[in-house]
Chain A
Amino acid sequence: MTWLARAVADVERDPESVYALFPRAAREGGPGARAELLRTLTKAAQDPAAAITRLYWQGDAGERLEILETLPQLDLGPAALPLVHDALRTNDTRLVAAALGPYGSAWLDDHAFRQGVLKCVFMSVPLASVEGLGRRFDEELRRMLADFAAERRAAGRPVPPDVLERL
């Protein structure tokens, strides 16, 4: 039996065991192990959103990243939005980019989504990585990007091509 198979069985039997298993899952279980444990936890836990939230708050940057990336598979509705907001408050490009994946794109309100997109521009996260940008692009976001471009030009700095092509 592999480490991951044992861990999955443990979480199915006792969802509380996930808090000791999840931090070790990448090194013990290999790529994909953390996502597997998250899927198992959402099926086994009485309150899946609360369990995922606790795991996120206890996680290091790598654990938080994998939780954000797995959210679209967990069927939590908007309950995990506070985690996305937390990731958008960080200055870690990996977390910010993951926050604007399919889950964030589906549930963030317009204001938070636009601020997230603009933050990506500031942090040099390519806009191509923002899920659903075409679908959610609106006049207000176009204005914000145009103002950003004007600020860059006034400072004598280049405007990134992926901003220019959306103006």
Chain B
Amino acid sequence: MRIFDPHIHMTSRTTDDYERMYAAGVRAIVEPAFWLGQPRTNVGSFLDYFDALLGWEPYRAAQYGIRHFCTLALNPKEANDPRCQGVLDELPRYLLKDSVVAVGEVGYDSVTPEEDRVFEAQLALAEEHGLPVLVHTPHRDKAAGTRRTLDVVKGMDPGKVLVDHLNELTVAMVRDAGCWAGFSIYPDTKMDPDRMVAILKEYGTERMIVNSAADWGRSDVLKTREVGEAMLAAGFTDEDVDRVLWQNPVAFYGQSGRLHLDDVESGGDYQGNTILRGTR
């Protein structure tokens, strides 16, 4: 089973997790920029974070055979702090980088006027840079927040929008809008593997994307694999599993024109890896 985890916050994880992910079949990941638990209070904190997502974290992932891409944005939580607004001025130069495959996570947290403004400004940046958009939907008042999200993205090509953290109550409206539907599988919150399988049975596998979203809270980097196994147990084919866990996220982020997976798929070395003696 080959797995592309399209939404996972590896900054919060240990190298043990990278080892377990590789063993489970994870070969490529996208790490969206989000908050870090402790709210940031200045633009420089974001820039160091973005630099880590473009430098240290891909390097670390490569040591474990996993190709790392990222999405960058000012997230909806911190969009509300006026001290962080300057991030929007810095984003254009970051969106040019080779491993940036979307703008994200954008969207709503508390659905404030500040969030509206930052969300729309970043949708414009995505259009300018020809990048798809990863949209976070709020955890509180999710259905109303998702409906409002779909209103905001209405002018965009829905094929370039992935609306994430969906559940039984929000999946239908996102599919009706023609956007990609993302699901975060967690141990206690959001979705679990069996509920995910039920949704796939009802709606099919087209434009469906599953992630582990693992972060600083209680979460599990192998939830994508569990979904694949639950799909097989429920009668889905290997091809169905591959579509959900690999082909769909590759098709979505591939729209950036920057998703290069040749070296991953052939099992070759990643850039500097060949410099290592292999005795680490």
**Using a CB–CB distance below 8 Å, which chain A residues touch chain B?**
19-20, 23-24, 26-27, 58, 60-62, 64, 90-94, 97, 124-126, 129, 158, 160
Contact = CB atoms under 8 A, between A and B. Distances in A.
B93 A58 contact: yes
B96 A61 contact: no
B93 A60 contact: no
Nearest to A24: B96
A103 to B, nearest CB: 18
B59 A92 contact: yes
Given A26-B98, A27-B98, A27-B258, A61 B54 contact: yes
Interface residues of B, number: 20
Interface stretch (B134-142, B201-209, B268-276): B268-276
13 contacts: A23-B93, A58-B93, A60-B51, A61-B55, A61-B59, A62-B98, A92-B55, A92-B59, A93-B272, A124-B277, A124-B280, A126-B275, A158-B279
Closest 6 CB pairs of A and B: A94-B272, A60-B54, A23-B96, A61-B55, A124-B277, A92-B59
Given A61-B58, A61-B59, A124 B96 contact: no
Interface in B27-59: 51, 54-56, 58-59
A20 B96 contact: yes
Contacts of B275: 93-94, 97, 125-126, 129
Q: Which of A60, A92, A93 neighbours the largest number of chain B CB atoms within 10 Å of its CB?
A: A60
Interface string B245-280: 000000000000110000000000001100111011
Nearest to B53: A60
Nearest to B277: A124
A23 B59 contact: no
Contacts of B96: 20, 23-24
B97 A23 contact: yes
A24 B51 CA distance: 16
Contacts of A94: 59, 271-272, 275
B80 interface: no
A160 B277 contact: yes
Contacts of B211: none
A64 to B, nearest CB: 8
Interface string B87-122: 000000100111100000000000000000000000
Consensus secondary structure, chain A interface: helix
Nearest to B51: A60
B93 A20 contact: yes
Given A64-B55, A125-B275, A126-B277, 20 more contacts: A19-B93, A23-B93, A23-B98, A24-B96, A26-B98, A27-B98, A60-B51, A60-B97, A60-B99, A61-B58, A62-B98, A90-B56, A91-B59, A93-B272, A93-B275, A93-B276, A94-B271, A94-B272, A94-B275, A129-B275
Contact of A92 (B99, B257, B272, B279): B272
Contacts of A26: 98
Nearest to B258: A27
Nearest to A129: B275
Contact of B276 (A27, A64, A90, A124): A124
Q: Which of A19, A61, A94, A126 neighbours the largest number of chain B CB atoms within 10 Å of its CB?
A: A61
Nearest to B50: A60
Nearest to B92: A20
A60 to B, nearest CB: 4
Nearest to B90: A58
Contacts of A58: 93
Interface string B64-91: 0000000000000000000000000000
B130 to A, nearest CB: 11
Contact of A91 (B56, B97, B277): B56
Given A23-B96, A27-B98, A124 B279 contact: yes
A62 to B, nearest CB: 6
A60 B277 contact: no
Interface string B137-166: 000000000000000000000000000000
